[in-house]
Amino acid sequence: MIYFENVSKIYDGESHPVVNNVSFFVRKGEILTLLGSSGAGKTTLLKMVNRLCEPSQGQVTLDGRAVHTFDPIELRRQIGYVSQNIGLFPHMTVEDNITLVLRLQKKNKKSRKKRADELLELVDLNPRDYATRFPDELSGGEQQRVSVAKALAADPEYLLMDEPFAALDPIIRDELQTELLRLNTALNKTILFVTHDINEALRLSNTIGIMHKGKLEQIGTRAELLQSPANAFVKSFMATALTARNED
């Protein structure tokens, strides 16, 4: 379980917190989505899990252990991370990108290749066709599939996903959302997902946290957010977002 306890973050030189006294938890095997506009604090919260960002107060724990007690490098090798920027090394083949963390863990070449082939098949890319390609030879959707495979290489229990499909066209985004749901059914990972897209949040998660100006306005199921909004902001946010969704 990932647990945020009274977490706040104020960046140096800023007078207002980007995250303001936030508490919630992500259950084992759950996809929990943080939903909100740009600047709401979603990505800052996500990066606190793998110590890319440190809280100013409060703490984050993984299965009861505070993340600040982990070595940051070892922690990040244990947590899958997928972002909108994809993060593949252009000078490395698909196979080498996927197995980078395994090479750092001193796994032998045979086991690395076997794992890369397994993961490519898992994300619906034929290893014979893709293992030796370079990132610039792939489409955006294919690159993001490789990025997901890379995040899964060391079989992490946790996945952090920061608007991973935002830059893709709607058809490819839909395919990858379907792929993520299929993968999580098969692998049962604990996933913290960040998006500003209500369609994506409603499709991927039963539990959604609404963020606004650093505050967690409400966290609950889709039905709770729609039928019992905690305040006027959540009510207006959901109504506006759903109206835009229906117009699309």
46-76 residue pLDDT tens? 999 999 999 999 999 999 999 999 999 889 8
Domain that holds residue 191: 2-85+158-247
**What is the pTM assigned to this prediction?**
0.90
Distinct helix (H) and strand (E) counts, the chain: 11, 10
CATH number at residue 38: 3.40.50.300
Is 80 exceeded by the pLDDT of residue 241?
A: no
Asked, for residue 217, whether it belongs to a domain, the answer is yes
Which DSSP category does 56 fall into? S
Asked, for residue 224, whether it belongs to a domain, the answer is yes
Is 80 exceeded by the pLDDT of residue 199?
A: yes
- CA distance linking residue 99 with residue 152, whole number of Å: 10
Asked, for residue 190, whether it belongs to a domain, the answer is yes
pLDDT at 246: 60
Angle at 161 between CA 214 and CA 108, to 5 degrees: 140
Angle at 226 between CA 81 and CA 195, to 5 degrees: 20
pLDDT digits (tens, 9 = 90+) for 134-193: 999 999 889 989 999 999 898 888 999 999 888 788 888 898 899 889 888 888 899 999
4-27 as b/e: b if 16+ CB within 10 A: bbebbbbeeeeeebbbeebebebe
